[in-house]
Structure 1
Amino acid sequence: MSVLAANFGEHGFPRPPEPGPKPADVVARAEAIAGSLVERQQETEDRTFYASDTHEAFAKAGFYRILVPRRYGGYEFGVDTFLRVSMALTRGCPSTGWMYTLGAAHALAVATMFPEQAQEEIFAVGDFICPATVMPAGTAERADDGGWVINGTWGYCSGSPYATHFVGHALVSGTAGEPPTPMMFIAPRSQWRRLDDWGQQLGLRGSGSHSITILNGHIPDHFTLDGHMSQFSVAGGTPGLRLHGNPQYGGGPLSFMNLESAALAIGIAKGALDSYEDLMRSRTTLFPPVVQRTHDPDYQYWYGEATGLIATAEAAIINAAQQWQQACEHGSATFTREFEMRIATICNQVVQLCWRAVEQHLLPTAGSSAVRRGERLERVWRDMSMLHTHAGFTVFLAAKAQRELAKARFDIEELP
């Protein structure tokens, strides 16, 4: 067998950088790399995305193939493995973890929702990095060859600096006076351009959440799906389940996206707790008796209370991921609207617990010198505050999900 042939699997797709790692191996690599990210947070913010050597380390560790189907050279690990990697990296650097997570996570949605012909072309690149946005923007018009011409600009495309693809929603003109309807599409890197418009926000300045613009981009029809990602139903089975035979490619993409948001909050909060622990060990109390903070009852309480809140949040997200995976095994019909919204409400509480730990216990008691510009705790607070401005949390998890759960439970239809 030639060296070239050895680099490709039985289906003709690139093999992963290392065959046969176990999920625990990949998680351990993330935990090891996370420590090196702490000291690089400022340069990551200045650059607005993580460094090329970090990107190469992620690729070598196999992080970009965790959710890619084995058929296409991926590891096809469970979502629990992905979430643990996400939490570990975000604990070291929130911006880096955010950029990685929202770039690599959408392999699951693509492998679930798109037909075989599209997947064979999309995953042919090996490593898969694909930011996605849910806000419809721009336009899609039929091309002469039956494909689509896409024009528009989409903001907050986290993961775009090293991305291989982009998933967005464009508006298709309605007929006979009907309003335009959303269409989900995936565009290869050759069809879009990243704008230099990130880095001036309050937090997550290094998350690579730049805008993506497409000017007369052309994509084939099988790279599109009618409707919005949030409305995609898996109840009747999915192309991914039929193609790969793995139940996780028959799960609900929307509920998995909510798990991502919650995992990011846990990683950020853990980073805040790490910073607070360093302060506990290195600083003394302000009032007599002056002792190391680790020996002061008040600091012991604040640290313990925050630890409990974050540990509870982590336990909840691990259980929610288990519920999600069990639902996959029970069949796609398990993913009812009520089940998906129940997962969403758990994720909402996870984020709330993490915010309470940082905002009520760690930040106020750390001391003003610990929140000077550039200090780790100051950056973590900015990053977590930025999470609270994300529409996925503020609009959906914190408000809409609760109402949708109740309506699904009581079979309430929308009012005319």
Structure 2
Amino acid sequence: MKQNVADIGVLQTHEDLVEKAKNFVPTLRARGSETEELRRVPEDIMTALKEEGLFKILRPRRYGGHQANMRTYLDCLVEISRGCGSTGWVYSLCNIRELMIAESFSEKAHEEIYGPGTDVVFAGVFEPREIQVRRVEGGYHIDEGRWMFCSGSVHATWGYFGMPLVDKAGAVVDHGLITMPFKDIEIGDDWRTLGMRGTSSHGVVIRDTFIPDHRAVSLSEAKNGNFQSAHLRDESLYNTALFPALNLSLAAPALGLARAALDIFMERLPNRRISYTFYDKQSEAPVTHLQLSEASLKIDSAAMHFQRVADELDATAKSGQYMDPDMRIKLNGDMGIAVEYCKEAINILIGSSGGSYIYDGNPLQRVFRDFWSMYVHGAILPTSQLETYGRSLCGLEPNKDFI
């Protein structure tokens, strides 16, 4: 299904794509409560995002995508997250799967996915909660497997999952990645949460399913840049370091949420007073000046860290060299401190907003709940990322595999 660029008609500049994402912010914010109640992104919003080409940021050109870069992807997902945390999270993860599928799998797998020319949206999870899998002729047979927190599951057409690779004796020989149609996957109804309620991050089950060898690859090889996508080796985007890119997709919505908190605070500031004081205008109080400047600069600092991550991923990929482990660990540290700055900024803004933020109708409350629901994700928890970077600075081996 290789296409000429001239036949695609979707390629746009960085500025065009980011502006399209930014234009969604008012609608996403206005429909945040609806998204929570539905526990999924409203279908018309998903359709509109697709029609604007915003789900094709990282898709290869030959399959109808923009094949942009990580900086464009970052700037778009931050804008979508600024409008709605749940929509931003789904948007971020579904898009990053495009990169991971493109990098990790062969042309044969890509033709199965994109060849029919149907709408494609990816969802998936790296680690199964439980699984029984057998090595069989020509591939693997999953007797039953269960994965939790599958964000965007109700929108997906193809899945991307982590799975142990076993030999004929049943011994685990590697950690693998598989891809398969979502029509063969059972989606649960277990996503009832404090925040990120609209992400449809239900648990999923795969039963009695054959996975052919060309749709099962080694994660150990992929994380070090030994990809199966021989037909894309001349495309620099698909030399992007796998796990820092994944961590960026999980961490960067925090920046959008922090900017949303600042937007909401500033919109309400002209009409607020500070209760139990003589300040009839909160904007005239010195404490407000200090709080607002600190929160704003923390958000700016977080943005600089995230931008450095995206730019470094792009520059290294373009160089033709796969990013070395030390740099991957450092970028994860960048993201850890960026998420922490976002948390600190949001806390300052909430602490300056008075008791009204606790009402369900106050959008700042949703920002707070969405942020804390993503903050504790094991892959991006700042303490974990910063500890790993600190170990690297001390000359010690990393304390986790996914780097």
Relative to 1, partners in 2 of residues 1:295 and 1:322: Cα closer, same or farther, differing over 3 Å? same
1:270-349 equivalences under 5 Å are 270-333=259-322, 335-349=323-337
Opposite residue 77 of structure 1, the aligned amino acid is A
Partner residue in 1 for 2:124: 132
Contact 1:69 1:244 in 2 (8 A): no
Contact 1:65 1:127 in 2 (8 A): no
How far the C-alpha of 1:289 sits from its partner, in A, is 3.0
In structure 2, C-alpha distance between the alignment counterparts of 1:413 and 1:344, rounded to whole Å? 12
In structure 2, C-alpha distance between the alignment counterparts of 1:153 and 1:101, rounded to whole Å? 23
1:355 aligns with 2:343: yes
Partner residue in 2 for 1:225: 217
Partner residue in 2 for 1:5: none
Q: Which moved more, 1:130-139 or 1:45-54?
A: 130-139
Contact 1:337 1:408 in 2 (8 A): no
Structure 2 residue matching 1:327: 3-state secondary structure? helix
Structure 2 residue matching 1:216: 3-state secondary structure? strand
Relative to 1, partners in 2 of residues 1:29 and 1:374: Cα closer, same or farther, differing over 3 Å? same
1:68 to 24, 48, 59: 59
In structure 2, C-alpha distance between the alignment counterparts of 1:311 and 1:188, rounded to whole Å? 40
Q: Describe the superposition over 1:87-121 as per-residue Cα deviations: whole angstroms up to 9, x where unpaired.
A: 00100110111111111211111111111211222
TM-score norm. by structure 2 comes to 0.90
Gaps of 5+ in 2: none
TM-score norm. by structure 1 comes to 0.88
Partner residue in 2 for 1:267: 256
Partner residue in 1 for 2:160: 167
In structure 2, C-alpha distance between the alignment counterparts of 1:170 and 1:387, rounded to whole Å? 24
Contact 1:15 1:72 in 2 (8 A): no
How many residues align structurally? 396
In structure 1, C-alpha distance between the alignment counterparts of 2:363 and 2:139, rounded to whole Å? 48
Relative to 1, partners in 2 of residues 1:411 and 1:26: Cα closer, same or farther, differing over 3 Å? same
Partner residue in 2 for 1:246: 235
Partner residue in 2 for 1:185: 178
Fraction of identical pairs, as percent: 26
1:406 aligns with 2:361: no
How far the C-alpha of 1:345 sits from its partner, in A, is 0.3
1:386 aligns with 2:389: no
1:147 aligns with 2:132: no
Partner residue in 2 for 1:99: 90
Partner residue in 1 for 2:43: 52
Gaps of 5+ in 1: 1-7
Relative to 1, partners in 2 of residues 1:164 and 1:86: Cα closer, same or farther, differing over 3 Å? same
In structure 2, C-alpha distance between the alignment counterparts of 1:281 and 1:225, rounded to whole Å? 56
Contact 2:3 2:63 in 1 (8 A): no
How far the C-alpha of 1:284 sits from its partner, in A, is 1.6
Question: Which has a greater percent of strand?
Answer: 2
Opposite residue 218 of structure 1, the aligned amino acid is F
Opposite residue 153 of structure 1, the aligned amino acid is R
Structure 1 residue matching 2:176: 3-state secondary structure? strand
Opposite residue 163 of structure 2, the aligned amino acid is A
Relative to 1, partners in 2 of residues 1:320 and 1:407: Cα closer, same or farther, differing over 3 Å? closer
Opposite residue 46 of structure 2, the aligned amino acid is H
How far the C-alpha of 1:379 sits from its partner, in A, is 0.9
Q: Which moved more, 1:133-142 or 1:306-315?
A: 133-142
Structure 2 residue matching 1:138: 3-state secondary structure? strand
| Poorly superposed stretches of 4+, deviation over 6 Å | none
Contact 1:64 1:127 in 2 (8 A): no
Contact 1:165 1:188 in 2 (8 A): yes
Relative to 1, partners in 2 of residues 1:184 and 1:405: Cα closer, same or farther, differing over 3 Å? farther
Opposite residue 188 of structure 1, the aligned amino acid is P
Contact 1:68 1:128 in 2 (8 A): no
Query: How well do the aligned residues superpose, as a CA RMSD in angstroms?
Result: 2.5
Structure 1 residue matching 2:164: 3-state secondary structure? strand
Q: Which moved more, 1:88-97 or 1:110-119?
A: 110-119
In structure 1, C-alpha distance between the alignment counterparts of 2:398 and 2:346, rounded to whole Å? 39
Q: Describe the superposition over 1:18-50 as per-residue Cα deviations: whole angstroms up to 9, x where unpaired.
A: 433222111111101111111111110111111
